[in-house]
Every structure is written in C-alpha cells, then in structure tokens.
Amino acid sequence: MFIKSPLNYTGNKYRILPQITKYFPKHTKVFVDMFCGGATVGFNVDADKVILIDNNPRVINLLKFLAEKDIHVIISKIEKVIKEYNLSYSYKYTYKKYRDEGYVVGNNGLKKYNEKGFYKLREDYNKLLNKNTDKANIMLYTLMVYAFNNDIRFNSMGDFNLPVGKTDFNKNNYNKLIAYNNRAKETKYEFICSDFRSKKVSNIINKASFVYCDPPYLITTAVYNENDGWNCDKEEHLLKLLSKIAKRNIPFALSNVLKTKLKTNIQLESWINENNYDVHKINYHYKSSSYNKKNRDREEQEIIVTGGAADEASDK
C-alpha cells in the first residue's frame, strides 16, 4: 500500500507511483533514492535498506526528524505551536466549527483566521540561528502545513518564503504524518544531505542494489530551475554517473522529461540512444498539481529511463 509523504514537495510522484515502481525490483537490498525531495518514492519501495539523498539540509533534516522521533511527541509539539500562534486546528475541532463561527470566507478557506499567526511563525522561524533543532523542525513542518498549497520553499537567503494557505493541520495532514512515521519503523532508512556529485554519494551508489533518480528537469520551467538551479553541466554529470554504474551492473531508473511542446532535451536523447537504454512513457501531466510551473499549459512527456543489470528489474 502506497503512502503519501508528509511533505507536499515539488514534483511529488505519488499519483504516478504505480507506473514508476513497476520498473523497480520487487525486492532489493539497498535502494538509493537520489534527489529524494519529499521521499515519496523511497518510502514506497520494498527494500532491506533505503538511502535517501537530497542537497537541501532543511528538507533532509525534517524528513529524518519526522521519521525517527516518537509520533506522540511530534504531534504534542505541533499542537503547542498551533496554540502559541493561535492557528486553526480542524483535525481536533473540525472544519465545520470554523465555518459556523464565520472564519471561512469565500474560497479562501482558513486563510483569514491563520494569517496573523502564520506570518509571525514564519518570521520567528526565519530568525532562528540554528535550524537543525527539534524546535526548528516542528516550526518548519507547521509552516508547511499552513502555507500556500501545503508546500515548502526557501528563497536564496534560505528563508521560508511561502504565503499563508487555505488549510491547516487537518485529518489529511495528520494521517500522512502517522503513516510516514509508521512506515519508518518497517524498513531501515538513512538520510543523506549531499550534492549528487560528491565523493560520498559516488561511494554510496557504487554499493547500491538499485538507484532511482528524479533530478530537476532541464527543459521544464519548475521553480527549482530558476536562477540556473539545474543546468547542462549538472545534467551531463548525472548522465555520466548513471552510465558508470550501469557498466558495473547496477540497475537504475531515471525520471525525466524528454520533450515538451517547445523543446527537446538533446543531451538526454543522445545519451539514451548512445547507450541503448529503455524508455517508458508516463501517462500523467502535472497541470492540476502542485508542480509549480510558470506555464502549466506547455505539453510535456515524462518518461522513465532504465538501464544496468536487466535481470534485477521486476518486469525484465
């Protein structure tokens, strides 16, 4: 049974997990989820050990905190923040309560009720000198839950910069948190904060049984591609890295976009053809999701590229 990540992270793969995981082994020893984001993929595979890698320390620390801490302690601390900043709590008091009391206005949900407290919480979080503490992680999680689209985003200075959203710590967010924490007890998880080009990551994937990569997509206009966040040099490094592990008979799967209505990823296309890797189309578009595109109307085709030891994959 697939679970949803407690983090509504950019490029979330939950809706297409059945299409992705059919190219994974039915069971593997060490599964590496590079560019793990909200850990949706890594927390939904069958493996003895899952290593989740991302270069965002705030995200990795939060994922680790929510996985390893006692769930009752986590919820208790969230409730304290909710009370301190006078935020709504529809899981406990129901959404109907706030609606009947006149706090739900038009299509803005609980935005007006939470606005003052949210921005004070955001200000206090951004002022923290040490964002690796339990307190900081609880504040960040709460910010995400009450933020626009339940999303998580930081500016170039490292400050959380999303505006207040319409929802709160409701039944959906509560259940996702519980499911994630429970799943963390079923498999051995390791959380690594590192650039994918580091020697540390290279050593990890060279000992992996299967590697999954969901990097930023070179030819799309997602938020993470702003300010040259992902470029041709990084793309080339990743593709060479995957070719190297494939030659070592380590199977991999790569999520990407090969073509949009206006562009073709020539680097990716050439690499696929040169190595004769398999390409599988994904039947899903992110037009109505939290994919944060500047232009959601551009047609694009997401794919899964597979290579390496063919007999490791479940459909081979």
* pLDDT of 19 strictly over 60: yes
Q: Locate 191 and state its tokens.
A: 């959380």
**C-alpha to C-alpha distance for 134 and 80, rounded to whole angstroms:** 13
**C-alpha to C-alpha distance for 156 and 197, rounded to whole angstroms:** 21
What's the start-to-end Cα distance of the chain, in Å? 23
pLDDT digits (tens, 9 = 90+) for 202-222: 999 999 999 999 999 998 765
* pLDDT of 289 strictly over 60: no
* pLDDT of 6 strictly over 60: yes
State the chain's maximal CA–CA distance in angstroms.
64
pLDDT digits (tens, 9 = 90+) for 153-197: 999 888 999 999 999 999 999 999 999 999 999 999 999 999 999
Identify the band that residue 316 occupies on the pLDDT scale cut at 50, 70 and 90.
Answer: very low
Is residue 184 a contact partner of residue 39, using CB atoms and an 8 Å limit?
no
Side by side, the strands of the sheet bearing 28-34 are 188-193, 47-54, 28-34, 210-213, 252-260, 300-307, 278-281
Give me the CATH code for the 14-55+194-312 domain, please.
3.40.50.150
pLDDT digits (tens, 9 = 90+) for 121-134: 999 999 999 999 99
Is residue 282 a contact partner of residue 16, using CB atoms and an 8 Å limit?
yes
* pLDDT of 287 strictly over 80: no
In this prediction, residue 88 carries a pLDDT of 98
Is residue 180 a contact partner of residue 66, using CB atoms and an 8 Å limit?
yes
| Average pLDDT value over all residues in the chain | 90
By percentage, how much of the chain surpasses pLDDT 70? 90
pLDDT digits (tens, 9 = 90+) for 232-253: 999 999 999 999 999 999 999 9
DSSP 265: -
CA 138 to chain centre: 18
In this prediction, residue 288 carries a pLDDT of 36
Global model pTM greater than 0.75: yes
Residues of the chain within CATH 3.40.50.150 domain(s) are 14-55+194-312
Q: 73-176 has which fold?
A: Adenine-specific Methyltransferase; domain 2 (1.10.1020)
* pLDDT of 112 strictly over 90: yes
**Percent helix / strand / coil, the chain, rounded to 5:** 45, 15, 40
Of 76, 2, 7, the closest CA to residue 38 belongs to 7
Is residue 244 a contact partner of residue 201, using CB atoms and an 8 Å limit?
no
In this prediction, residue 262 carries a pLDDT of 84
Amino acid at 38: G
Residues of the chain within CATH 1.10.1020.10 domain(s) are 73-176
What average pLDDT does the segment 111-130 reach?
97
Task: Give 84-144 as a 3 state SS string.
Answer: HCCCCCHHHHCHHHHHHCCCCCCCCCCHHHHHHHHHHHHHHHHHCCCCCCHHHHHHHHHHH
Q: Locate 236 and state its tokens.
A: 């080339």
* pLDDT of 56 strictly over 90: yes
